[in-house]
A and B are shown apart, each in its own frame.
Chain A
């Protein structure tokens, strides 16, 4: 395969990944690493580096669109970024210490967990928890607008949410992904934020989180321009297109298909890590 063929094929693959990721809300970054390693035989470290760069691009590119809707909470985002950036730094350092095969197995487990989370219906939550004193002190509570007008929301269980965000940042730095699904889970389930607020705030945080590990990756030589070129441009274009397409009810079917893809890729990553070796 020549450089031109490699670049063109990875560009198309990354566009599809970014497109489906934006359409299903599951993020395209997670399929980039298996795509590069399993189908193109790229070393896992280069794959993780290229994936991380594409995560920063999609997060920053989508932030403008999200912010027009005005749901993201800049205070919650900034406060939780302390947890995610420390986590990302720790994750990036751990990634350098682990052998590639072990990283591949962890990656596979993460893909399977993401597939499960995307299918799992969360129980309806009781809204009568007491307000968290930390949230009050840091003025994290906010307002968002829906059809019924302005709604005030309160932030609960800040320490638990903060701890989960450290883990989410760690996963991001370890595997070169945005780990948006885990961030949303922490904000939804632990801190009880309205769904729209948690998804948009999570997107806002992903870029800063990824930047915290990108410096470490860069100096370690994991960011290879020849690979990052088609991955970053492809995922960015794909996600911009995906965010503009309205598919209505078919999203459910797409989410199911995407979850199945994640499951298969996860199994393959574990298989390669354990028996074929990277």
Chain B
């Protein structure tokens, strides 16, 4: 492999690292904002008992995009925290999508195919697989 390609790879990796950092900072910011509201409203409630046993059907389920977005719309603090966590989970997915584009620009179609396979597994897990 030639020198130009490895420097292409390097620049590309730097871009991906920046993307990851933005995702983490954005996610942490949303989680902190939701956390401040959450503690402001619920700080005096009992904290551990409700987590001792897994609840399969909670009052406010935050398991799908729709549930999370509607909770955010109602300014539910737990919904905002969950949105931050969703951004965090989406960050590596965004990295993989950018990798597809990156390999396509290098006209490296073997790696475009490999990366699309990884993306398919991620999207299947996020959207299609039943509970």
A42 & B89 in contact (Cβ 8 Å cutoff): no
- Which B residues lie within 8 Å of A78 (CB)? 99, 111, 114-115, 118
- CA of A215 to CA of B123 in the docked complex: distance in angstroms? 9
A89 & B34 in contact (Cβ 8 Å cutoff): no
User: Whose C-beta in chain B lies nearest to the C-beta of A42?
Assistant: B51
CB contact between A43 and one of B27, B32, B51, B91 (< 8 Å): that residue? B51
Interface-located stretch among A16-24, A111-119, A206-214, A254-262: A206-214
Are A89 and B121 CB-contacts (below 8 A) given A57-B27, A207-B20, A221-B58?
yes
B51 & A1 in contact (Cβ 8 Å cutoff): no
A229 & B48 in contact (Cβ 8 Å cutoff): no
CB contact between A233 and one of B28, B42, B117 (< 8 Å): that residue? B28
CB contact between B1 and one of A5, A41, A63, A139 (< 8 Å): that residue? A139
Number of B residues contacting the other chain (C-beta, 8 Å)? 70
Write the nearest CB–CB distance from A9 to chain B, whole angstroms: 9
B131 & A67 in contact (Cβ 8 Å cutoff): no
- CA of A68 to CA of B51 in the docked complex: distance in angstroms? 40
- Which A residues lie within 8 Å of B125 (CB)? 85, 88-89, 92, 211-216
CB neighbors of A among B96-126 (8 A)? 96, 99, 110-111, 114-115, 117-118, 121-122, 124-126
B4 at the A/B interface (Cβ < 8 Å)? no
CB neighbors of B among A215-241 (8 A)? 215-216, 218-229, 232-233, 236
A3 & B53 in contact (Cβ 8 Å cutoff): no
- Which A residues lie within 8 Å of B99 (CB)? 74, 78
Main secondary structure of the interface of B (DSSP, over half): helix
| Residue-wise interface mask of B (4-44) relative to A, using a CB-CB cutoff of 8 A (1 in contact, 0 not) | 00100110111011101101100110011011001100111
Can you give 16 A-B contacts (C-beta < 8 A)?
A1-B47, A4-B39, A78-B99, A89-B121, A138-B110, A208-B96, A211-B91, A215-B89, A215-B122, A218-B89, A221-B63, A221-B131, A226-B38, A226-B78, A228-B31, A229-B31
- Contacts A67-B17, A215-B125, A232-B28 supplied; 17 other A-B pairs, CB < 8 Å: A1-B48, A43-B52, A46-B54, A63-B20, A67-B13, A78-B99, A82-B114, A82-B121, A207-B95, A218-B126, A220-B63, A226-B38, A226-B51, A228-B31, A229-B35, A232-B31, A233-B32
Ranked 10 nearest A-B pairs via Cβ: A6-B47, A215-B126, A225-B81, A4-B43, A67-B17, A215-B125, A207-B92, A60-B20, A3-B47, A85-B121
